[in-house]
Structure formats: structure tokens, C-alpha cells
Amino acid sequence: MTQRILAFDSGIGGFGIVRALRGRLPGTPVDYLADTAIYPYGEQEDAALIARVVTLMGEAIASLAPDLVVIACNTASTLALGALRERYDIPFVGCVPPIKWAAELSRTRTVGLLATRATVRRPYLRALQQRYAPDCTLLAHGARGLADLAERAFRGHAAPPDIVQRELAALFEQPGGDRIDVVGIGCTHYTFLMDAFRAASPPGMIWLDPADAVARQAATVLQTLPPQPEALHRRDRAFFTTMPAEPARMTTAMAALGYSAPTLFAPATTTF
């Protein structure tokens, strides 16, 4: 049988989940769609973003015919996952900040979250804390510039230590921040900055990246789906709603994940 996954993000963040999917589901086709035309999602107005994601997903499902869609973006997941499930008869797996996981590991009962400003300000985050970590203090920092650093890091550029340290200081220097012993990332882009985060954080800090947990859930859902007839083989492709910066570097980075050069997503012609 051939079951195909579509991973979706506003930029390169979802490639971290693709990497985890490759490890858990070797041989499973995974297409990728990045909505780079309005990156970053964390800076968009909620209602307009929901409408765009729902429409774009409809075009992608019609063009690429996935059996499962992974919304590999925290902002899109927290805003649009419900609308997507209502609109389309296909399973969706989303991303949420790893608050439950952090609470399970924290000994000081003070956990940190590094995310986008949009994720930090939304009531959804506090609802997660109340449900999964009511006995913990949650300190969060919405870091606008880190997603841009992650985009560059994915393309092979070093992350400037001073910028990383400044963003982490905004988390750890909050009142009570000296008690943080676990930090989760609430933006999939930050996967590609984890080494820089660990280098700049206090000794012994535990950093949590939920990429593998998302891949594990996708694998679980995929196993529940009925077998599909064998289809003509086609190579996995990575699509962008506008072409990314530094295409040569992007192509090199994507090759490690099984993709060739970036492809512009044009729904009217992107069919197989």
C-alpha cells in the first residue's frame, strides 16, 4: 500500500517534523508545503489566517492527494485545526506546546516556554497549563526574531550568539525565571536552534522539542487508515507559495531530507 503524508508550515519549521517522520516511517512518502507568501504566521491576524489556511489546505489536498496532513506549525494548529477537521474528510495531526511533557519532568514546578508572540498571547496556552500543569508556574517568552534565525540556520548559517542570549535572557530573567528547570519550544522553527539554546542556557537545563512526539502521533494515525491501492511512484516534493531565499542553500539543506529543489506551489498545475 502507498500512504502519503503532507507536512505543512509557514516556513522551514516543519522540516524538523519531516526529519522525525523519516525516522519513524522510513519509506513513507512525505510532501511538504510552506506558506512562505505570508511568513511568519505568528504576525498575522487570526481570522484572516484561519481563512487562508483552510483555503490553502483545500488546494493542497486536491492537488497532492495526501492520506494524512501534519500541521507542523504551532500557530496554524492552535488557530485552524478545528476548522480544518470540520471542513475536510481527512485526518489532521497538529502541534501544541509541550506543556504536559514539561510538567512531567520539572522538579522545581517552574517551566519555561519559548514561542512566537502569537502563541504566547493566545488563551489556548493558558488553557493547556490549567489542564496539564495546574501546579506549575509557566513563564513564556514570545520571540519574534528567532524564527528568522532558524530559517537562516536551516540554510547553513550560524546563529549569532548575542541574539540567542538576548532572547533567552528575556525568558530566564523574568521574576522566578531562576527556578526554570525545563523549557519547551512552542514554534517548530526552533528545532534548528536547539544547539544554540543549549549552549546559551544555564547548566543542566532540559530542552524539549516535540517534533518526535508529533511524528509518533502521525504514525499512530496512519496505522488506523485503510490500505490504499498502489499508486505510480513519484518523488517527494517540497512546495513553497513564494520561492525561498537563497535557493541554492535551501536545496542543499532540503536534500538531506529527501527533497530536490524548491518548487513553487501553483494549485491549478500542481497535480499528479
Which CATH number characterizes residue 205's domain? 3.40.50.1860
Instruction: Indicate which residue of 25, 73, 93, 147 is catalytic.
Output: 73
Q: Which amino acid is at 36?
A: T
Q: Which amino acid is at 81?
A: L
Please indicate, yes or no, whether residues 67 and 117 belong to a single structural domain of this protein. no
Residues of the chain where predicted confidence (pLDDT) is lower than 50: 269-272
Please indicate, yes or no, whether residues 162 and 186 belong to a single structural domain of this protein. yes
Tell me whether residue 271 is in a domain: no
Binding-site residues from annotation for substrate: 9-10, 41-42, 74-75, 188-189
Is-catalytic flag, 187? Answer: yes
Please indicate, yes or no, whether residues 197 and 224 belong to a single structural domain of this protein. no
Binding-site residues from annotation: 9-10, 41-42, 74-75, 188-189
Query: What does the pLDDT read at residue 233?
Result: 66
Domain boundaries, position 226:
5-95+212-264
Is-catalytic flag, 95? Answer: no
Query: Could you tell me if 186 and 49 are in contact, meaning their C-beta atoms sit under 8 angstroms apart?
Result: no
Query: What does the pLDDT read at residue 144?
Result: 81
Tell which residue, 145, 9, 124, has the closest CA to residue 73.
9
Tell me whether residue 228 is in a domain: yes
Strand order in the sheet with 68-71: 92-93, 68-71, 5-9, 30-34, 238-240, 263-264
List pLDDT tens digits, range 149-180.
999 999 999 999 999 999 999 999 999 999 99
Kind of pairing between the strands at 68-71 and 5-9: parallel
Tell me whether residue 272 is in a domain: no
Query: What does the pLDDT read at residue 270?
Result: 47
Tell which residue, 147, 186, 124, 120, has the closest CA to residue 11.
147
Please indicate, yes or no, whether residues 121 and 199 belong to a single structural domain of this protein. yes
Its pTM stands at: 0.93
Query: What does the pLDDT read at residue 122?
Result: 86
Query: What does the pLDDT read at residue 13?
Result: 96
Spatial CB neighbours of 191, under 8 Å, sequence gap ≥ 6:
13, 15, 16, 150, 185, 209, 211
Tell which residue, 83, 86, 76, 55, has the closest CA to residue 267.
55
- Separation between Cα atoms, residue 176 and residue 15, nearest integer Å: 34
Query: What does the pLDDT read at residue 50?
Result: 95
Query: What does the pLDDT read at residue 272?
Result: 39
Query: Could you tell me if 31 and 262 are in contact, meaning their C-beta atoms sit under 8 angstroms apart?
Result: no
Please indicate, yes or no, whether residues 90 and 216 belong to a single structural domain of this protein. yes
Residue 175 CB coordination number (10 Å): 8
Neighbour-count burial of 203, counting CB atoms closer than 10 A to its CB (0-12 exposed, 13-18 middle, 19+ buried): exposed
Query: What does the pLDDT read at residue 226?
Result: 84
List pLDDT tens digits, range 46-81.
899 999 999 999 999 999 999 999 999 999 999 999
Instruction: Indicate which residue of 6, 50, 146, 187 is catalytic.
Output: 187
Query: What does the pLDDT read at residue 85?
Result: 97
